[in-house]
Structure 1
Amino acid sequence: MTPIKTHPLTAAAFAPFGDVLDATGEFRLINEGMCQRHHDRAALDFGPAGRAGISIFNAEARALPYEFSLVERHPEGSQAFVPMSEHPFLVIVAPDEGGTPGTPRAFVTNGAQGINFHRGTWHGVLTPLHAPGLFAVIDRIGTTANLEEYRYAQAWRVIGA
């Protein structure tokens, strides 16, 4: 089993796979100066035959070390995970190598970040590290299939930094 070290989730490190959703950087004040709007933080993409949908996921918490062999991707649209608690979660991604996933990478959010996977990005399943594992998920709703799964021949083991 091959180990993978986790890394803190940063916009620069995550850019090839998607967008980091957080309240950093430039903003404008709204609501009579009482609210910072960090505008247009994700490139949502639902393709020509889809629409945006918001679902609620309630995932079981996992712990490190964490073993996995399954990754998935959504060829028809992006997918955003917005936690509904202030706990870190594990984000596993892999580059596409000719239609199959390459060597995975693992990130841990800081408890105040969400993520948006670009369309077609190989990623692990939703992996909260604390209960409750409650997330708002914004993704494509449509009539065509939007899920591809892949199992690595050998499991990977995610360990701490």
Structure 2
Amino acid sequence: MELHAKPLTREAFEPFGDVIEVSDDAEKISINYGLTERFHALTSLDVTDEAGQGIISVFRSSPKACCEINDKKGQLTIDCMERHPLSSQAFYPLSANAYLVVVAPKGEFDVTKLQIFIAQGNQGVNYHKGTWHHYSLALGKTSDFLVVDRQGVGKNCDEVTLENTITIHFNLDNRNY
């Protein structure tokens, strides 16, 4: 199976979670005597099932060995997906590098419903509770991500191995990598 990545937009990603980015339509609050503009409540966390608590971590993700990039066009293969049934999970890039976001709807995993997005280095994502997603897919360079996640009792990661690998094609035109 071969799929093509499309640009990450709020509207296209809405069934799976929230896009975290500074934009003109975000609620803005002037703070710190007018020296800081706060882009307020860009997403909401959902981490308290089974007495869970929110934590912040940094994930350092290396590009997959099978990721090939030539002349800003690339491809890579995936063979697994995961979901977090007890919480949302937010990723925000600290390295300003483009990365891929691979998702499928909540519920029983259905490979035919996979969607792939290419995120710019100034866009984060917050996966809704139960949304199937691939782990961080850094492109071209090792990349750091600020991750807001759940800590607590209960199993909060289900994984599925795909019967067949999936090849993803992407274009980094006008993007950092």
Normalising by the smaller structure, the TM-score range is over 0.9
Q: Once the 2 structures are TM-superposed, how far is the Cα of residue 32 of structure 1 from its aligned partner?
A: 2.1
After superposition, residues 125-136 of structure 1 pair within 5 angstroms as 125-136=135-146
Of 83, 96, 100, the residue aligned with 2:93 is 83
Amino acid at match of 2:11: A
Show structure 2 runs of 5+ residues with no match: 68-73, 172-177
- What amino acid does structure 2 have at the position aligned with 1:59? S
Deviations 1:82-126 (A, max 9, x none): 111111111000123x52234211101121111100000000111
The offset of 1:131, in angstroms, is 2.1
1:34 paired residue number: 35
Tell me which residue corresponds to 2:58.
56
The match for 2:8 is: 9
Partner residue of 1:20?
Answer: 19
Structure 1 unpaired stretches of 5+: none
TM-score using structure 2 length: 0.84
Measure, in 1, the Cα distance between the counterparts of 2:11 and 2:4.
18
* Cα distance in structure 1, aligned partners of 2:109 and 2:138: 25
The one-letter code of the counterpart of 2:41 is D
Name the % identity: 35
* Count of residues paired in the alignment: 159
Aligned CA RMSD, in angstroms, stands at 1.4
* Secondary structure in structure 1 of the residue aligned to 2:5: strand
More displaced, 128-137 or 105-114?
128-137
Instruction: Tell me the distance in 2 between the aligned counterparts of 1:158 and 1:30.
Output: 43
Residue 28 of structure 1 deviates from its aligned partner by 2.1
Counterpart in 1 of 2:118? 108
Greater shift, 38-47 or 25-34, is seen at 25-34
